[in-house]
Structure 1
């Protein structure tokens, strides 16, 4: 039987278009096309072509969505060795399909087999159609394959990402179910029992380095990052603009050097000239987390220590002591501070400027809130000048953790979902697409960034600040 190449090509193009339309939200078009191409190759060299597009579509759907029901009919393996030729190919396909559904006694159907050998299109059509129908019936369903559970401890700002059902679905397609416990990043590095987990996911390279040292592992992945920022309100931004600390524009900037000078003098909000909107007797301070437990506060310390040290990276005991003497009051004058960044940002969202006029946050938290319609009209995102980039780092503690770290870094769906939660993935266009779609004013380039001090120096600075609490 002559093969109608043009008709098969047209049918396969239609299959690809349908799959792109059906799975466009879960997979990029290139991924769908690659799956169709790979499945199609399984049928190369076989002379029975009439139902190749049907079989290709069924197998491709199974691979693009592993939770779909499976049937033996769509798992026909035409690569088995055996007699060749049209009759043999036709009989093999028919046997694979009809054998699943119809008991055949060869002694009673010699004439039928002769027809099959000559041209089994009609019989094969019935078999395949029946297979397709049966695959969608309740009696043909099979249990979804068991997922491998991966346990992790993560910085609290990533809880929403792992709680997202779309993230769970994307991981399930790779056979994984991820359970996480939130904690402050420095808690992860210093006090959490890592033996209970398959991976740790703190929010900076410094915390990750300490986890690596404690666990004796060298591997790590950085699937996304987020610069540090300040969440505030328009009346506060206007006050600080009059004080010369804030500069409005396409994005709002916050001058850390001028702020440090003001804070060192102990200036209160009600002492700011022209203040009629927030005239309260409280120190002008950015609210942070506890530097003894949280990475976001450690990043605040890295920035303020750099500025306090004459805009130079802190190195050596003398520079460390000097920086601590200037910046420790930024922490001790705050009163109670929480252990992780999730709490202060939730206070910012729900309680307004009366409780938290300025909150030191990850940019990702603000963008995530914007995407999920949690921001109020007077809320403002400010970028400290300078700022620091927080590298969210997966430290795999075993093979399961390594598998997850690799997926988070390389899988297009998970990278896209990370951007939807406000993080900056490897492909920054994913992030810019999200912020443009939701009209979030962000600074994409952020030229003015500091390099955090090395691990040991940051530990010494944190120890110095911790001592100042006593």
Structure 2
């Protein structure tokens, strides 16, 4: 048998392979299941609670909402919209307010192009703005606030000794935070002219009957107790009458008193006679404003600063600015700031800020400010007297809030004489005459 015919042993590699059936693995029922990581188990209840909270409050889709930016020009009441809590509440409505700060009269007399809303601090500026609109606009007056003079205790006590100011004693005793200021007598200190309302004085006496130093703080006795001294004149530091509602309202008080407790131009059927009366009154009160020198900006920040007393003994501010400071001071220190006090002028002026819409987006802001009770409550916490029909009076809620926080509640003066601002044309004549204001830069409706 040849080698070729001999059978060969079959190698492993040469053997045919058989394909095996695929195996389907199933879970062993006896094998324990894999557990979630511990950190996932800890976070799951928190995530679930957050989801429930979003669903309950209606904010589940808030990240997908479009936030609308409202371009707004505002005066001193921009303090309200700068408050972080107010901003948070507005975001719930999908609104954010971009504030362009300017005095009320500046808002009324300058271009409003590109603005969605404006918030002048008083009615004269609001009327100027409304008269310029060629569309029906929405507006709201959410609160009121009195015009006041912010000063410091030593100066208020000096005025009290002169019979010009009267302290409002706190119900529970202690140091008074508020004084009633007799504007008739106070203006006698401001003008420095010789004579009285009833008769002329002789010699070097001023209208108040005190000698030549009568119009300086030392001249009315500031330097007598405690060894302090201030030879500066008795003045009220104001913002520009050409731009500011507060300064314009202060002019209205001065003009009312200087005109024999009568609104200039009121009852004058002849426009020429009303204008002449306005100019006559303006000449009387112009020195009371000019003596302060250069016009100042918004006064509250300076008055409430650490250097407030060195900047000015008396500053023209709004009540809400002072009360907001006291509320914050009590929250931080557990007591009121008794060094700073308010002078409430008699006769008094009440300012009514008005939020005015200039666009569809502005309409949304007006509706929210008018209807949201949380925004209204926050206004009270910022020292405003809210005004909405069907609720407590404008002062009741604020007074209750102050009392709850241990802050003296200001009381109404028994003399309820209120200054009514002159007709717009008359007031503009007084402002222009006293302030020598530049011409308006208004846009065409």
Same fold (TM over 0.5): yes
Shift of 1:280: 2.2
Shift of 1:273: 3.4
Aligned residues: 337
8 Å contact from structure 1 (residues 289, 344) kept in 2 = no
Shift of 1:338: 2.0
1:328 to 280, 286, 295: 286
Shift of 1:367: 0.7
Q: Deviations over 1:300-352 (max 9, x none)?
A: 0011100110000110123212211221112110012224x2x4543443213
Which residue of 2 is the match for residue 275 of structure 1? 223
Residue aligned with 2:353, SS: strand
Q: Deviations over 1:204-258 (max 9, x none)?
A: 0110111112233453210111110111111001111111111112341011110
Which residue of 2 is the match for residue 211 of structure 1? 129
Residue 449, structure 1, aligned to residue 411, structure 2: no
Instruction: Give me the whole-angstrom Cα distance separating, in 1, the residues matched to 2:149 and 2:316.
Output: 5
2:323 to 367, 372, 377: 367
Instruction: Give me the whole-angstrom Cα distance separating, in 2, the residues matched to 1:176 and 1:385.
Output: 40
1:352 to 297, 308, 311: 308
TM alignment of 1:299-338, pairs within 5 A: 299-315=249-265, 316-338=274-296
> Unpaired segments of 5 or more residues in structure 1?
1-56, 71-141
Instruction: Give me the whole-angstrom Cα distance separating, in 1, the residues matched to 2:68 and 2:91.
Output: 9
Residue 187, structure 1, aligned to residue 103, structure 2: no
1:404 to 334, 348, 365: 365
Q: Deviations over 1:26-80 (max 9, x none)?
A: xxxxxxxxxxxxxxxxxxxxxxxxxxxxxxx99995576343x35xxxxxxxxxx
Instruction: Give me the whole-angstrom Cα distance separating, in 2, the residues matched to 1:412 and 1:222.
Output: 15
Instruction: Give me the whole-angstrom Cα distance separating, in 1, the residues matched to 2:79 and 2:276.
Output: 41
Range moving further from structure 2, 212-221 or 451-460? 212-221
TM alignment of 1:96-107, pairs within 5 A: none
Instruction: Give me the whole-angstrom Cα distance separating, in 2, the residues matched to 1:460 and 1:295.
Output: 15
Residue aligned with 1:286, SS: coil
Shift of 1:287: 1.2
Query: Structure 2 vs 1, CA of residues 278 and 213 (structure 1 numbering), >3 Å: closer, same or farther?
Result: farther
Instruction: Give me the whole-angstrom Cα distance separating, in 2, the residues matched to 1:270 and 1:224.
Output: 39
Q: Deviations over 1:432-458 (max 9, x none)?
A: 233223333343546332111121111
Residue aligned with 2:356, SS: strand
Query: Structure 2 vs 1, CA of residues 179 and 66 (structure 1 numbering), >3 Å: closer, same or farther?
Result: farther
TM alignment of 1:148-167, pairs within 5 A: 148-155=68-75, 157-167=76-86
Q: Indicate the RMSD between aligned Cα atoms, in angstroms.
A: 2.5
8 Å contact from structure 1 (residues 328, 468) kept in 2 = no
TM-score (norm 2): 0.70
Residue aligned with 1:439, SS: coil
Instruction: Give me the whole-angstrom Cα distance separating, in 2, the residues matched to 1:432 and 1:288.
Output: 27
Shift of 1:393: 0.4
TM-score (norm 1): 0.67
Q: Which has the higher contact order (CA 8 A, sep 6+)?
A: 2
TM alignment of 1:28-43, pairs within 5 A: none
8 Å contact from structure 1 (residues 239, 275) kept in 2 = no
Query: Structure 2 vs 1, CA of residues 183 and 307 (structure 1 numbering), >3 Å: closer, same or farther?
Result: same
Structure 1 runs (4+) greater than 6 angstroms displaced: 57-60
Residue 243, structure 1, aligned to residue 162, structure 2: yes
